[in-house]
Structure formats: structure tokens, C-alpha cells
Amino acid sequence: MAIKKIERKPLTLAEKSYLPQIASGLKITLKNIFRPTVTLQYPEERPEIPEGYRGVPTLVKDPNGREKCVSCQLCEFVCPPKAIRITPGELDEESENAHVEKGPKEFEVNMLRCIYCGFCQEVCPEEAIWLQDTFSVSGYTREELVYKKDKLYELGGTLPDDHHKWDKKKAAENSGNPH
């Protein structure tokens, strides 16, 4: 099989000096100099967070300041990277929340493993876990990025409660039960 040799035409003087390529590069640079900037000076300037953004998972309390989490462990089971760890605890029989099943003794979210998928919020029957709009998580050690129950409640705050499971009187009224 014969190899066919392709003849190339010789370069012109302008092509040999690379002047057209330099001029086209300068044209692009000059065009971009006069455009408005799109760079944000982070952290002073923060981007707008879209509706439905899934950020850091946190625990929330009801309007009376009580824990909404009943330690059902559904969020722990559904978490794909296994970032959530719950140790269930019993409630005191004398406490005002004794009619509720149980509460978490320990609740940890490992932010190094969390992939912000939102499954934990979707599966929570008590609406105790919510994803906040925080996207910047940092720390100096690995231990700082394992959020314990206190830190999760601090980040989450309180939210309205439509279940009324915690209030015996309201729960009885909503179920139609006189007791």
C-alpha cells in the first residue's frame, strides 16, 4: 500500500510571525476587560441561594422548645453514606413528654460524609430534621465536623409543629378522643 504525501503550501510572512494569533488573543482580552465582573468576593459577598436548596442537615425543636425527634432512626437507615448515627434513649416517666415513645440520647451527623441528598428530611415522620441553606462547612479538625446533638439544635432552631404529638390536650382534640 502506497502512502500518499500531502503537499502543504508555504506559510506567509504574517503567519510566520504569529501576529494574527497575537492580535486575536488581544482582541479577546480587550473585549473581556470592559465586561461587568461576575466574580463574588466570598465570604463578604454570598450568592443567592435558590428555593429548595439542600444544605446542612439540622435538628429542630417545636415552638415550646421541646425535641421533636423520637429516635425512630429512619434517617439513619436511609442515609446513603451512613453519615447519621443515633443512640436511642428513654424518656423519664415523670417528664411532660412521657407519652411520646422515646428521644435521642445521642445524635451525630458526620459532615465529612454527608452528601446533602435530603433523604433524612424526607423520611422523618416528626419533621425533626431540616436542611438549612448553609453551604459552607469548615473546621480545623475532623472532630469539629462531626456535629453532635447540641450543635444540630443550635443550627436548626425552632419550627412550627402541625402534629401536636407533644401536647396531650391538643393531640386528644385533633384525634376526636375526649381523653
DSSP letters for 28-56 = HHHHHHTSPP----TTTS-PPPPTT----
C-alpha 114/C-alpha 73 separation (Å) is 16
- Under 8 Å CB-to-CB from 165, ≥6 apart: which residues? 100, 126, 171
Contact indicator for 75, 68 with CB cutoff of 8 Å: no
pTM equals 0.67
Q: Which of 95, 121, 109 is nearest to 150 (CA)?
A: 109
C-alpha 74/C-alpha 67 separation (Å) is 16
Q: Indicate which CATH number applies to the domain containing 168.
A: 3.30.70.3270
Contact indicator for 108, 85 with CB cutoff of 8 Å: yes
What tens digit of pLDDT does each residue of 9-44 get? 888 887 788 888 899 999 999 998 888 888 888 888
Does residue 169 lie within any of the structural domains?
yes
Total domains in the chain come to 1
Does residue 41 lie within any of the structural domains?
no
What tens digit of pLDDT does each residue of 64-111 get? 888 888 889 999 999 999 999 999 988 776 666 666 668 889 999 999
Does residue 159 lie within any of the structural domains?
yes
Does residue 122 lie within any of the structural domains?
yes
Q: Which of 111, 103, 99 is nearest to 144 (CA)?
A: 111
Does residue 83 lie within any of the structural domains?
yes
Domain extent at residue 159: 57-175
Does residue 31 lie within any of the structural domains?
no
Does residue 97 lie within any of the structural domains?
yes
Does residue 70 lie within any of the structural domains?
yes
